[in-house]
Amino acid sequence: MERRILGVSIGMSILLLAAIAAAPLQPAEAQPARWSLDAPFIDYLFGYPFPFGPAWWHPGSYLDRESARYVSGEPANLTFQLVNKDCSGRSEEPHVERLGRTWLSDVAPIIIRADIINRTGFLKDYYTMIGRNVEGYGDRLIADWELTVYGYCTGNPIHIESVTVWFAWLGIGKAQNTTARIGKTLEALDPISYILGGDVNSSLTLFTARFAFPPNVPPESLETPPTLTVRMKYPSGFTYEYDYNPAANESQTHLEIWGLSSRWR
């Protein structure tokens, strides 16, 4: 009896091994690194009307004002900005921009933006505008200009499906949350477009979530910065979730690019 059972067991093991060998191999998909997103918390807006777009926002014009105070047990509108700053590649060829017969006053903002973005690491380096055939008209100068940018970032778009807002409060945490449906694809920041025209709008989105503050939150905990759980679809087609703390490690220079200044820096 023992010999027959052993024979059956060996036979079943051989069949199982044969089935495994015949089955097609399924590739394993490991979760990739967290996507490079910035999430500034815009805590000055509670229904305040404003024109959208970094061209209208001067760093510090709103966000450094006294923050509106939240109240335990009452709801509030929380406004955030998401920015795709993916830099998974860099251009090997320099970008040369030539501006013929352009006023110095029109060139100056381009030089300023080149310096700002160069300090963030989105460029490896740049050569300041070179003026040729300079002519003066009173206190105005016009010339032919040339700007060369080296090693600027290139990246991939990312599709943001939704964002869940919560606070890391002791004993409450993610149990109290609110979710905003985004459904928007953000292009990676284009350093050249930013330098030439200050354009970052295709790389960011603004959203507001209404959050009900629990009545049992201690008043001293109301200053805790929020956490965002961002659900996004990667270029590979897979969907992942990651937690982000709004601009927790962001520099003032980065926030200048998005047109913001933040108390959570």
Q: What is the pTM of this model?
A: 0.76
Q: What pLDDT score was predicted for residue 30?
A: 72
User: What is the tally of structural domains in the chain?
Assistant: 2
One domain, residues 138 and 218? no
Q: Phi-psi category of 221—alpha, beta or left, where left has phi over 0 and alpha has psi -120 to 50?
A: alpha
CB distance 61 to 258 below 8 Å: no
- Whether residue 255 is predicted with pLDDT greater than 90 in this model: the reply is no
Q: Residue 99 is part of which domain span?
A: 91-153
For residues 233 and 159, the answer to whether their CB atoms sit within 8 Å is yes
Q: Does a structural domain hold residue 102?
A: yes
Confidence of residue 44 (pLDDT cuts 50, 70, 90): low
| Domain final residue, candidates 123, 153, 183 | 153
Find, among 64, 38, 63, the residue nearest to 50 by Cα: 63
Residue 128 lies in a domain: yes
- For the segment 79-96, the average pLDDT, to the nearest whole number, is 95
Residues 79 and 169 in one domain: yes
Q: Are 78 and 113 in a shared domain?
A: no
- Give the integer Cα–Cα distance in Å for 35 and 86: 7
Query: Residue 147 and residue 97: Cα distance in Å, rounded?
Result: 5
In SS3 terms, 127-167 reads as EEEEEEEEEEECCEEEEEEEEEEECCEECCCEEEEEEEEEE
Half-sphere exposure for 67 (CA within 13 Å, toward CB): 18
Count CB neighbours of 153 within 10 A. 23
149 and 161 in a single domain? The answer is no
How far lies 9's CA from each of 4, 14, 15, 19, 234, in Å? 9, 9, 10, 15, 46
pLDDT at 86 over 70: yes
Residue where a domain terminates, one of 135, 153, 171: 153
Q: What is the pLDDT of residues 195-249, one digit of tens each?
A: 999 999 999 999 999 999 999 998 888 888 899 999 999 999 999 999 998 865 5
